[in-house]
Chain A
Amino acid sequence: MSPYTLIDHTADLGIRVTAGSLKELFAEAVRALFNLLLRSNRHPRTEKRFIAVEGLDLEDLMVNWLREMLYLFNGKDKAVASVFISSVETTLIRAEVELYEIDFLRDEILEDIKAVTYHQIKVGPLNHGYVARIIFDI
């Protein structure tokens, strides 16, 4: 079963992500974001980058974390090939991401996601794991 589902929102796009741990939740949220953004059938060269992001609380942290990922796409023309979360606390996440350069001629851009919003943001425990709901501005 896919760790994320799409949320129907009139103006924009949302995802609901579930995972067994907070680390996995934040990792799956990134994978979901990039699944929505583009499709690439290439095996391009990647570069590793260490990233640390802060937030006021878990929800703010999730928004800031995905904002950082989206900036890599929109601002630097990079996509995430893989993500490894080293640690997640309520106000800080540390991770290692593998990035590749987007080829706009060969990669298929699926959605023009402009921003990660706080609209209906939710990050918290669910059953024996965690759930997140995030709405993107398109």
Chain B
Amino acid sequence: MAANVLELKKLDKYRWTLPQKGKMRVPGIIYSSEKLLRDLTTDESSQQVINVAQLPGIVKYSLAMPDVHWGYGFPIGGVAAFEEDEGIVSPGGVGYDINCGVRLLTTGLRSEDIGDRIKELTRTLFRDIPSGVGSMGKIKLSKKEIRQVLVKGSRWAVEQGMGDNEDLDRTESSGCLPDADPDVLSDRAMERGFKQLGTLGAGNHFLEVGVVDHIYDQKIAHHYNLFEGQVTIFIHCGSRGLGHQVCDDFLQIMGKLASASGFDLPDRQLVYAPLGSDSARRYFAAMACAANYAWANRQALMHWTREVFERTLELTPRELDIRLLYDVCHNIAKMETHEIDGVQRRLCVHRKGATRAFPPGHPEVPSIYRAVGQPVLIPGDMGRYSYVLAGTQKAMEETFGSTCHGAGRLLSRGQAKKKAKGRAIGRELEDKGIYVSYTGRTTMAEEMPEAYKDASEVVEVAHGAGISRKVARLRPWGVVKG
């Protein structure tokens, strides 16, 4: 049993604290339930919360969202904010897949409008949306063009005819982080970026046609254009090889810096650069490039998804009425303003496997949603539910405007493959009316629903703790996995 789980002290029904001691500069807080906490007894995520609490300039708490599990440096589901003057930025607090994130599309269709054609639709999406390891993108970029992608993000794709300005309004940070500088990227990062724009990737990345199964909050659902029985589309992917290379490059750079400067690191994956330093500036510039690449990627994939729907269902764009509800990041570090002890302070907020959840009235929430709060998108596993939530004021007060991001893995890949032995997971899902198209022999076993926590339990904690509010539940119907 991970020893630090025993040190957890219950604050209330949904929060446990790791008291500040030793080298910790702040306490840790884990959002969880009694049931989810039992899963933490077998991994080291609570130790990782403690490690993060030791970093310089950390403010208030080292946080873990209810889907927390083992990561590198930061736990996945980790949130931490750092002072602008004395704080740091850490690539381990963002993750390898910079701006791994998800967007949800709504349609004007009900499930009965598609009916049995879901199988054909799923197969066509699988055929036409590049996915899987080694998949090449359909977009051929020149050296000049890729620089534009890295600086402009989603806007680059819109300028190429892949969407419109409304999509930018409905994307976190309008689909573009400022201060991106392609000159700070390594040749390797650029090289990997050339090949993969417009690809879904593999592993836990997916494109999923779903159906709104239940509405919890009619008022917010109306603002989000969600209704029961409605067909929706999730797209989950990130910055692909370019983002991974950026993280790798800066772990090396900051590792050398840490060694030369004698930084005391509880974990090598927690290397950091002081905010304001040249290394920090370069990391932010590189991270922004990767984040923008991911947004351009999701914008392109959305555009092709729309085209597949039009061609396969032989419906016009007006009849389909496919709109972007919202696009959120799961892995990012951003300079944000938060109120701490009554004072507005500029902080570097790291969200690694966590989602921004800004409340009603916040200026960064798109005007169409400002009355009800930012949409928060929580994809579950391919056999069970996903959720749409809304950001809350309590999240701003307690978690730097953050909440969970998904279900989180429960089983290792080895355990999942063992459990899947002798079973036809694809057939089991089809028997439940879920059609999956995939590449990779081991993908179905490793990604089987039982390999993940139940997103419902994770969402119950987030809702119960008040850091986001349940709006709608979606069930999977047609799934494309790389």
B-binding residues in A (CB < 8 A)? 6, 8-13, 56, 59-60, 64, 67, 71, 74-75, 77, 102, 104, 108-112, 114-115, 117-119, 121, 135, 137-138
Bound CA span A75–B196, Å: 10
Known: A11-B409, A67-B248. 6 other contacts (CB 8 A): A11-B70, A13-B413, A75-B241, A75-B245, A110-B440, A118-B268
Q: Nearest CB to that of A77 among chain B residues?
A: B134
Verify A102–B134 contact, CB threshold 8 A. Answer: yes
Cβ of B101 within 8 Å of any chain A Cβ, yes or no, is no
Beta-carbon contacts under 8 Å, B314-332 to A:
none
CB contacts between A and B, total, < 8 Å: 85
Given A9-B70, A75-B188, A75-B241, the answer on whether A56 and B256 have CB atoms closer than 8 Å is yes
Q: Which of A59, A64, A108 contacts B441 (CB 8 A)?
A: A108
Beta-carbon contacts under 8 Å, B101-130 to A:
none
Bound CA span A134–B462, Å: 34
Bound CA span A112–B256, Å: 28
Verify B188–A10 contact, CB threshold 8 A. Answer: no
Q: B411 to chain A: which residues have CB within 8 Å?
A: 10
Verify B72–A117 contact, CB threshold 8 A. Answer: yes
Q: A9 to chain B: which residues have CB within 8 Å?
A: 70, 412
Cβ of B252 within 8 Å of any chain A Cβ, yes or no, is yes
Verify B202–A112 contact, CB threshold 8 A. Answer: yes
Verify A60–B255 contact, CB threshold 8 A. Answer: yes
Q: A59 to chain B: which residues have CB within 8 Å?
A: 268
Q: A117 to chain B: which residues have CB within 8 Å?
A: 72, 269
Bound CA span A117–B251, Å: 10
Cβ of B414 within 8 Å of any chain A Cβ, yes or no, is yes
Given A13-B413, A121-B268, the answer on whether A109 and B133 have CB atoms closer than 8 Å is yes
Verify A10–B412 contact, CB threshold 8 A. Answer: yes
Beta-carbon contacts under 8 Å, B461-482 to A:
482
Q: Which of B43, B76, B191, B203 contacts A138 (CB 8 A)?
A: B203
Bound CA span A138–B442, Å: 13
Given A10-B70, A10-B411, A75-B192, the answer on whether A111 and B442 have CB atoms closer than 8 Å is yes
* Shortest Cβ distance from residue B10 to the other chain A in the assembled complex, whole angstroms: 24
Cβ of B210 within 8 Å of any chain A Cβ, yes or no, is no
Bound CA span A114–B191, Å: 15
Cβ of B259 within 8 Å of any chain A Cβ, yes or no, is yes
Q: B409 to chain A: which residues have CB within 8 Å?
A: 10-11
A-B contacts, 15 of them at CB < 8 A, read: A10-B43, A10-B411, A11-B409, A56-B259, A60-B255, A75-B188, A75-B191, A109-B440, A110-B440, A112-B133, A112-B201, A112-B440, A118-B267, A138-B203, A138-B413
Interface bits B194-215 vs A (CB < 8 Å: 1, else 0): 0000000111000000000000
Verify A74–B241 contact, CB threshold 8 A. Answer: yes
Q: Nearest CB to that of A64 among chain B residues?
A: B252
Verify B96–A114 contact, CB threshold 8 A. Answer: yes
Q: B25 to chain A: which residues have CB within 8 Å?
A: none
* Shortest Cβ distance from residue A42 to the other chain B in the assembled complex, whole angstroms: 16
Q: B201 to chain A: which residues have CB within 8 Å?
A: 112
Verify B442–A119 contact, CB threshold 8 A. Answer: no
Verify A119–B269 contact, CB threshold 8 A. Answer: yes
* Shortest Cβ distance from residue A34 to the other chain B in the assembled complex, whole angstroms: 14
Beta-carbon contacts under 8 Å, B190-248 to A:
191-192, 201-203, 241, 244-245, 247-248
Verify A71–B188 contact, CB threshold 8 A. Answer: yes
Q: B76 to chain A: which residues have CB within 8 Å?
A: 11
Q: Which of A6, A102, A119 contacts B414 (CB 8 A)?
A: A6
Bound CA span A80–B132, Å: 21
Bound CA span A6–B418, Å: 13
The 9 closest A-B pairs by CB, nearest first: A118-B268, A112-B202, A8-B412, A104-B134, A109-B133, A119-B72, A112-B133, A117-B72, A114-B244
Verify A11–B71 contact, CB threshold 8 A. Answer: yes
Cβ of B69 within 8 Å of any chain A Cβ, yes or no, is yes
Q: Nearest CB to that of A107 among chain B residues?
A: B134
Q: A118 to chain B: which residues have CB within 8 Å?
A: 72, 251, 267-269
Verify B203–A112 contact, CB threshold 8 A. Answer: yes
Query: Considering residues A77, A102, A112, which has the most beta carbons from chain B within 10 angstroms of its beta carbon?
Result: A112
* Shortest Cβ distance from residue B178 to the other chain A in the assembled complex, whole angstroms: 27
Q: Which of B134, B188, B410 contacts A109 (CB 8 A)?
A: B134
Q: B70 to chain A: which residues have CB within 8 Å?
A: 9-11
* Shortest Cβ distance from residue A99 to the other chain B in the assembled complex, whole angstroms: 16
Q: A8 to chain B: which residues have CB within 8 Å?
A: 412, 414-415
Verify A11–B69 contact, CB threshold 8 A. Answer: yes
Bound CA span A55–B43, Å: 29
Cβ of B169 within 8 Å of any chain A Cβ, yes or no, is no
Q: A112 to chain B: which residues have CB within 8 Å?
A: 133, 201-203, 440, 482
Q: A102 to chain B: which residues have CB within 8 Å?
A: 134
Verify A115–B244 contact, CB threshold 8 A. Answer: yes
Q: B245 to chain A: which residues have CB within 8 Å?
A: 71, 75
Q: Nearest CB to that of A38 among chain B residues?
A: B133
Q: Nearest CB to that of A59 among chain B residues?
A: B268
Verify B192–A74 contact, CB threshold 8 A. Answer: yes
Q: A114 to chain B: which residues have CB within 8 Å?
A: 96-97, 241, 244
Given A110-B441, A114-B97, the answer on whether A137 and B72 have CB atoms closer than 8 Å is yes
* Shortest Cβ distance from residue A98 to the other chain B in the assembled complex, whole angstroms: 20
Q: B72 to chain A: which residues have CB within 8 Å?
A: 117-119, 135, 137
Query: Considering residues A11, A119, A135, which has the most beta carbons from chain B within 10 angstroms of its beta carbon?
Result: A11
Verify A115–B134 contact, CB threshold 8 A. Answer: no
Beta-carbon contacts under 8 Å, B239-288 to A:
241, 244-245, 247-248, 251-252, 255-256, 259, 267-269
